[in-house]
């Protein structure tokens, strides 16, 4: 390592070249570390488990414009027909599809805090002890087949019974519900770890008390960008609308075959309606996460370009140095330096520059991260990304300089005795 | 002299093809990524109706009760208003033009039995819509005020649907069946797609807009459901459509056209008055119940039409451009300094420092221009890939003239910045040093 | 033509000051052929660079063709260099990427002549050195002697009053060296002032006058100096001795 000091001195004689490379390495480190961090965040988001057997699920929308049918009855007929198709595990008419991007959200509360409609005295309201807990919840509405079609697991309680389902315009209020485990922990933090005990608890919406009869392990709502995605509820209700949708679970290898059949079968059953193109859950997931996917892909391209450019920079600098010092290298060889010595000289020179670049780059990474945190809703850069990028740049530097250095070692000692 | 420099630059670039290629790649990648992200940003942040973006206002009402500390957007205003407010506001004549709006949809059929019914999204609005947002008519015109008031079943369709259903041409007067109800076509638009689609950003500002327009009053009379967002702060049970119409559910967009500050003031005064009237009816119970008017550009910023990701990408790709330029500075420096003996000869033969400097700047500019053109190609390729792979960017067409002009300016400008130091360095070298044979 | 008075040239680094020229005085008349000799490190190169306006002087006066060059800016010096001085170097210093025509073109470009005038001068200059037929060739395709002739053509194309030659035959074999010296002699005959730096004593005798530089000063001991009309070429002795002298150049 005694060689470092003369190498360093030689480097300082061509400061601008070294400096440019140091800046380039530092910027590369700063950008790559932050970009990699953003990518990782998005991948984590995209890889969240929805709790569903996604490969088995697809949905389609039905829009009935004919006025000559009883929609309630038709929905029942449709369901029966769909469930009978070979390959179909179960089917349900449902108001929203998980991770599809569009759906219903309602706030549920742990007590009824709506002031009496006849009472306009605001003081009365403010006198009530603690305010009710409000939980943003993704709301699914369906019948007894909902759980089986979604393919989610009950961890406590039971499924709806047929007589609990409220059809069409029946006006009786909803009285029971199945909720996600995350809903319980949010609504009743004291039950964290004991979520099963949530069965039997009452929750409120529109001043109506609803009893929790079942808890599923995991069920995401439709909005992937929402921070409330894990808090969901299933209500035993089939709404009668001329616009409704089906979720269908098939054996994974039967999915396409069922999709191909579905429109014809539906129109054969009743023609005065439009069947929208069926979409698989995989498609819906891709669509919902399209922004994140695009961001990760573009940032990956950015990282590749940066590494490429920086590698080119290191190679260019090394080639330049080798050419500039041909005579010097020849002289060193003539004076007894081995090929290994020459390679080591260039490797050490580059290693020094890389290290200086990395030191500056760490500072820049942190600055860039702070700037991104201030300007955008990005979390704080994790140090491990700086470390990982550092190692990557280090390896890149060693690889990039090796070949020019090896070429330098091939320079004949005879060059020393030649002029020019 | 410029031609001479250009010839020398050309020769020089070809003399070291590998270095030239490396520099071109660096500049092209840097310019390409910077221009690509900048173009997306530029198109997304474009003013979709520059001639009157300052005269069109989205109306927002802080209509919710005291139970919520804040509701809606960050400034406490919901994006949409209730149906009852929309109906009430449209009865006033304070605004020059105004329209409530909502996105809905239905099955569309023609007299032609061969065409299967198609499901289409529909914009319900008042007749003012077309004049307000400068929608150009190919045939016919907007429906009249009477149709607004009487909820007549008339429609205006877009050029694309006209093509799809009839193969184009003037089909004003023909009948279309919407959910089996007969609607008479009164107007057909020319191809029209404001980008971003500012008048309704709820459903994605860069997706294609509706091709069917109907009078807003039909929402209530024909019970058309909203195909957009419905938000409610209130614990009220809404089971029937009629309940929904008078509920506190927010699902209608409302736009007004106010030509000057006086009109804006008058309308603000009107809204203030409206709110106090409603207070007496027991609505708008908050003390800070108020209205807000946002013009088109404010509206787009407010809705974060340009996403945070876009901003991050623009920033990072400009940093990438800096890295590419630093890389180019290094390569140029090496290249130019290797040419020092030649420069020494030129100096001895009478070239001044300025002439040497200019000669090298011309070379750098030529490099920058070539790299920039390659960069534009790369950016175009990137945009094309984006458009074809990501639905949310389908409306981001190609670079406009501004961007096509920006690219070479950016390329040459940044190359010249990159070339300044090497060119300065080479012109300052002592020629005498390089003239001796050693 | 060239008049240097009390010139000092000092190179400064952080550690040392080097007096490359000290109180240097020299006059060269119009039409003279002066040779400059001296040991390595004596200041020959510094003198050449200063004479050729490639370096500035630290102190003193320098008149070139009656123009005081002290205090001129880079643009004015470059102009002067371009118009009045032609350079010939030991290593020819042709630009390898340019063909002969383009090489000779270089000083004319900086002079600002139009295309027609440049073409005329380039053809004339290459004609003069006998290489007009090879205008499109690259320097690498020529022998050393031919390359030096191109360099001379390039120096002549601008019709300078004053040629500065730095070991012009140093990289050439004897035959080629002789051709080059003949060429220079002819040029001098046509009225161009020549100052030639060399370390070769025999070559030094080719001029009308020889200056020796020692330790940055003119060491004025030359016998030729007292007889400015005498030179190795125009020796009043026999014609045969001229031949001998010419041969001794090698």
Q: For residue range B130-154, what is the model confidence (pLDDT) as tens digits?
A: 999 999 999 999 999 999 999 999 9
For chain A, say whether B310 makes contact (Cβ under 8 Å).
Answer: no
Question: In the predicted model, is pLDDT for residue C9 greater than 60?
Answer: yes
Domain boundaries, position B7:
2-45+307-435
Q: B435 in contact with A at a CB cutoff of 8 Å?
A: no
pTM for this model (two decimals): 0.82
Q: pLDDT tens, B47-81? A: 889 999 999 999 999 988 877 777 788 888 999 99
Q: ipTM exceeding 0.90?
A: no
Burial class, A360, CB count within 10 angstroms (exposed 0-12 / middle 13-18 / buried 19+): middle
Confidence at A117, pLDDT banded by 50, 70, 90: very low
Picking from B235, B334, B425, the nearest residue to A320 by CB comes out as: B334
User: Residue B288: inside a domain, yes or no?
Assistant: yes
Q: What is the pLDDT of residue A420?
A: 43
Q: Is B312 on the interface with A (CB under 8 A)?
A: yes
Q: End of a domain among B272, B302, B332?
A: B302
Q: Which of A383-387, B181-185, C86-90, C210-214 has the highest mean pLDDT?
A: B181-185
Distance (Å) from the C-alpha of residue B149 to the closest C-alpha of chain A?
Answer: 25
Please state the rounded mean pLDDT for residues B321-331: 91
Domain final residue pick, B302, B329, B345: B302
Contact list, A313 vs chain B (CB under 8 Å): 326-327, 330-331
- Total domains in chain B come to 2
The residue from B242, B274, B302 where one domain ends is B302
Distance CA A113, CA A122 (A): 13
pLDDT at C250: 33
Tell me the nearest-neighbour CA distance from A368 into chain B, angstroms.
Answer: 10
Disruptive mutation site among B349, B362, B432 for chain C (greatest number of C CBs within 10 Å): B349
Q: Does residue B185 belong to any structural domain of this protein?
A: yes
Contact (CB, 8 A) for A385 and A38: no
B349 and C166 within 8 Å at the Cβ level: the answer is no
Q: Report residue B275's pLDDT band, with 50, 70 and 90 as the boundaries.
A: very high
Q: Is residue B293 part of a domain?
A: yes
The full DSSP string for A76-119 is HHHHHHHHHSTTEEEEEEES--TTSS---EEEEESS--PPPTT-
Question: Which residues lie closer than 8 Å to A238 by C-beta, 6 or more apart?
Answer: A72, A75, A93, A141, A142, A143, A165, A166, A167, A168
What pLDDT digit, counting tens, does each position of B361-385 carry?
999 999 988 998 899 899 889 888 8
Chains that touch A (3 or more CB pairs under 8 A): B
For chains B and C, what is the number of CB pairs under 8 angstroms?
79
- What number of H helices and E strands is found in chain B? 15, 11
pLDDT band (50, 70, 90) for residue C158: confident
DSSP string, B266-324: HHHHHHHHHHHHHHHTT---STT--EEEEEHHHHHHHTT-S-HHHHHHHHHHHHHHHHH
**pLDDT score of A262:** 93
**Residues B292 and B180 reside in one and the same domain:** yes
The answer to whether residue B16 neighbours chain C at the CB level (below 8 Å) is no
Residue A281 has pLDDT above 90, yes or no: yes
Give the residue-averaged pLDDT of C222-242.
42
CB contact under 8 A, C107 and B350: yes
Q: Report chain B residues whose CB lies below 8 A from the CB of A27.
A: 319, 322-323, 326
Q: Cβ separation of C171 and B437 shorter than 8 Å?
A: yes
Q: Say yes or no to pLDDT of A68 above 90.
A: no
Query: How far is B348 from chain C, CA to nearest CA, in Å?
Result: 7
Asked if B430 lies within 8 A of C54 by C-beta distance, the reply is yes
Taking the Cβ of residue B1 and every Cβ of chain A, the question of whether any pair is shorter than 8 Å is answered with no
CA distance B428 to chain C (A): 11
Question: Quick check: B333 and A20 CB within 8 A?
Answer: yes
* d(C-alpha C94, C-alpha C158), whole Å: 16
Q: Are B297 and B319 members of one domain?
A: no
Tell me if chain C has a CB within 8 Å of the CB of B2: no
C246 pLDDT more than 50: no
Residues B326, B291: one domain? no
Best residue of C51, C77, C81, C166 to probe chain B, by most B CBs closer than 10 Å: C81
Nearest chain B CA: its distance from C79 CA (Å): 6
Q: Are residues B199 and B239 in the same domain?
A: yes
Nearest CB to B349 within list C77, C97, C106:
C106
For residue range A212-247, what is the model confidence (pLDDT) as tens digits?
999 999 999 988 888 889 999 999 998 888 888 999
Chain A residues lying within 8 Å of B307, measured CB to CB: 291
CATH topology for C2-248 is Rossmann fold (3.40.50)
Q: Do B354 and C74 count as a contact with CB atoms less than 8 A apart?
A: yes
**Whole-number pLDDT of residue A261:** 92
- Minimal C-alpha gap between A356 and chain B (Å): 16
Q: How far apart are CA A316 and CA C6, in angstroms?
A: 48
Q: What residue of B is the nearest CA neighbor of A169? A: B239
**Range from A60-74, A107-121, A297-311, B87-101 carrying the lowest mean pLDDT:** A107-121
Residue B71's Cβ-side half-sphere holds a number of Cα atoms within 13 Å equal to 23
Residue B425 in domain? yes
Q: What is the mean pLDDT of residues B88-115?
A: 90
pLDDT digits (tens, 9 = 90+) for C173-217: 888 888 888 889 989 998 899 999 888 888 888 888 888 888 888
Touching A: B residues 382-411, CB under 8 Å: 386, 389-392
């Amino acid at each position: 390592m005694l060689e470092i000091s003369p190498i360093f001195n030689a480097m300082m004689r061509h400061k601008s070249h070294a400096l440019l490379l140091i800046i380039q390495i530092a910027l590369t480190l700063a950008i790559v570390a932050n970009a990699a961090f953003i990518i990782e965040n998005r991948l984590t988001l995209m890889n969240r488990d929805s709790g569903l057997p996604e490969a088995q699920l697809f949905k389609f929308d039905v829009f009935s414009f004919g006025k000559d049918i009883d929609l309630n009855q038709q929905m029942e007929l449709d369901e029966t027909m769909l469930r009978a198709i070979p390959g179909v595990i179960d089917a349900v008419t449902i108001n929203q599809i998980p991770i599809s991007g569009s759906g219903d959200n309602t706030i549920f509360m742990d007590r009824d805090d709506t002031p009496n409609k006849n009472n306009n005295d605001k003081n009365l309201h403010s006198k009530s002890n603690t305010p009710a807990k409000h939980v943003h919840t993704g709301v699914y509405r369906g019948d007894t087949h909902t759980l089986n079609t979604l393919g989610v697991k009950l961890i406590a309680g039971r499924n709806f019974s047929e007589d609990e389902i409220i059809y069409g315009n029946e006006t009786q209020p909803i009285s029971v519900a199945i909720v996600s485990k995350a809903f319980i922990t949010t609504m009743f933090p004291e039950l964290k770890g004991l979520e099963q005990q949530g069965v039997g608890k009452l929750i409120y919406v529109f001043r109506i008390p609803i009893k929790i009869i079942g808890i599923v392990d995991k069920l995401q709502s439709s909005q992937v960008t929402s921070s409330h995605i894990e808090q969901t509820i299933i209500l035993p209700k089939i709404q009668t609308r001329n616009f409704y949708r089906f979720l269908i679970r098939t054996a994974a290898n039967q999915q396409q075959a069922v999709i191909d059949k579905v429109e014809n079968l539906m129109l054969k059953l009743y023609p005065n309606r439009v069947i929208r193109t069926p979409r698989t859950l995989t498609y819906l997931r891709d669509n919902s996460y399209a922004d994140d996917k695009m961001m990760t892909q573009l940032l990956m391209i950015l990282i590749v370009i940066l590494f490429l450019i920086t590698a080119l920079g290191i190679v260019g600098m090394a080639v330049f140095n080798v050419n500039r010092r041909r005579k010097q290298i020849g002289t060193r060889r003539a004076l007894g330096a081995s090929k290994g010595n020459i390679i080591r000289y260039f490797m050490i020179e580059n290693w020094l520059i890389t290290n200086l670049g990395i030191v500056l780059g760490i500072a820049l990474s942190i600055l860039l991260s702070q700037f991104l945190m201030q300007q955008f809703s990005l979390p704080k850069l994790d140090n491990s990304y700086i470390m990982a990028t550092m190692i990557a740049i280090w390896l890149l530097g060693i690889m990039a300089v090796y070949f020019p250095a090896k070429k330098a070692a091939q320079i004949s000692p005879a060059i020393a005795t030649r002029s020019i | 002299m410029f031609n001479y420099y250009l010839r020398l630059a050309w020769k020089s670039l070809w003399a070291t093809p590998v270095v030239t290629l490396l520099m071109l790649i660096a500049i092209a990648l840097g310019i390409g990524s910077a221009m690509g992200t900048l173009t997306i940003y530029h198109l997304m942040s474009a003013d979709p109706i520059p001639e009157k973006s300052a005269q069109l206002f989205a109306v927002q009402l802080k209509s919710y009760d005291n139970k919520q500390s804040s509701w809606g957007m960050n400034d406490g205003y919901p994006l949409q208003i209730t149906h009852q407010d929309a109906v009430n506001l449209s009865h006033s004549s304070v605004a020059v033009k105004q329209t409530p709006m909502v996105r809905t949809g239905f099955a569309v059929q023609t007299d032609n039995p061969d065409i299967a019914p198609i499901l289409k999204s529909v914009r319900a609005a008042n007749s003012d819509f077309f004049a307000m947002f400068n929608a150009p008519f190919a045939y016919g015109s907007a429906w009249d005020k009477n149709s607004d008031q009487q909820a007549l079943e008339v429609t205006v369709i877009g050029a694309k649907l006209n093509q799809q259903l009839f193969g184009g041409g003037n089909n004003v007067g023909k009948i279309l069946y919407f959910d089996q109800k007969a609607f008479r076509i009164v107007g057909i638009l020319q191809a029209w797609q404001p980008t971003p689609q500012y008048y309704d950003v709820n459903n994605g500002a860069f997706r294609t807009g509706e091709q069917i327009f109907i009078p807003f009053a039909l929402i209530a009379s024909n019970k058309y459901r909203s195909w957009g967002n419905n938000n409610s702060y209130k614990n009220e049970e809404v089971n029937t459509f009629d309940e929904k119409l008078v509920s506190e559910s927010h699902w209608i967009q409302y736009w007004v056209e106010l030509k000057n500050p006086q009109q804006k003031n008058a309308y603000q005064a009107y809204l203030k008055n409206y709110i106090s009237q409603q207070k007496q009816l027991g609505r708008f119970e908050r003390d800070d119940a108020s209205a807000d008017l946002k013009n088109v550009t404010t509206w787009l910023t407010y809705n974060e039409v340009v996403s945070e990701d876009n901003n991050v990408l623009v920033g990072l790709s400009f940093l990438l451009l800096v890295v590419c330029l630093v890389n180019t500075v290094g390569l140029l420096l090496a290249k130019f300094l290797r040419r020092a003996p030649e420069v020494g000869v030129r100096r001895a033969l009478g070239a001044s420092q300025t002439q040497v400097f200019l000669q090298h700047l011309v070379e750098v500019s030529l490099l920058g221009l070539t790299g920039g053109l390659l960069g534009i190609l790369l950016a175009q390729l990137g945009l094309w890939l984006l458009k074809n792979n990501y639905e949310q960017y389908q409306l981001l067409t190609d670079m406009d003239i501004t961007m096509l002009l920006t690219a070479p300016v950016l390329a040459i400008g940044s190359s010249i910045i990159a070339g300044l130091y090497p060119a300065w360095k080479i012109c300052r070298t002592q020629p005498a040093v390089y003239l001796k044979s050693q | 033509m060239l008049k240097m008075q009390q010139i000092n040239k000092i190179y400064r680094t952080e550690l040392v000051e080097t007096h490359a020229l000290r109180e240097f005085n020299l006059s060269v008349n119009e039409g003279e052929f002066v040779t400059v000799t001296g040991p390595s490190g004596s200041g020959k190169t510094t003198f050449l660079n200063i004479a050729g306006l490639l370096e500035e002087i630290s102190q003193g006066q320098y008149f070139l063709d009656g123009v005081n060059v002290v205090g001129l800016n880079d643009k004015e010096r470059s102009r002067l260099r371009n118009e009045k001085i032609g350079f010939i170097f030991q290593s020819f210093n042709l630009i390898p990427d340019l063909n002969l025509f383009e090489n000779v073109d270089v000083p004319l470009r900086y002079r600002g002549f139009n295309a027609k005038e440049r073409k005329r001068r380039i053809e004339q200059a290459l004609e003069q050195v006998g290489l007009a037929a090879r205008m499109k060739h690259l320097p690498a395709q020529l022998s050393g002697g031919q390359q030096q002739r191109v360099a001379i053509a390039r120096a002549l194309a601008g019709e300078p009053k004053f040629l500065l030659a730095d070991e012009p035959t140093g990289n050439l074999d004897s035959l080629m060296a002789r051709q080059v010296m003949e060429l220079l002699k002819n040029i001098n005959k046509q009225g161009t002032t020549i100052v030639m730096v060399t370390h070769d004593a025999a070559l030094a005798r080719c001029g009308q006058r020889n200056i020796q530089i020692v330790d940055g000063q003119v060491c004025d001991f030359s016998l030729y100096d007292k007889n400015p009309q005498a030179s190795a070429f125009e020796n009043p002795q026999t014609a045969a001795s001229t031949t001998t002298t010419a041969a001794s150049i090698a």
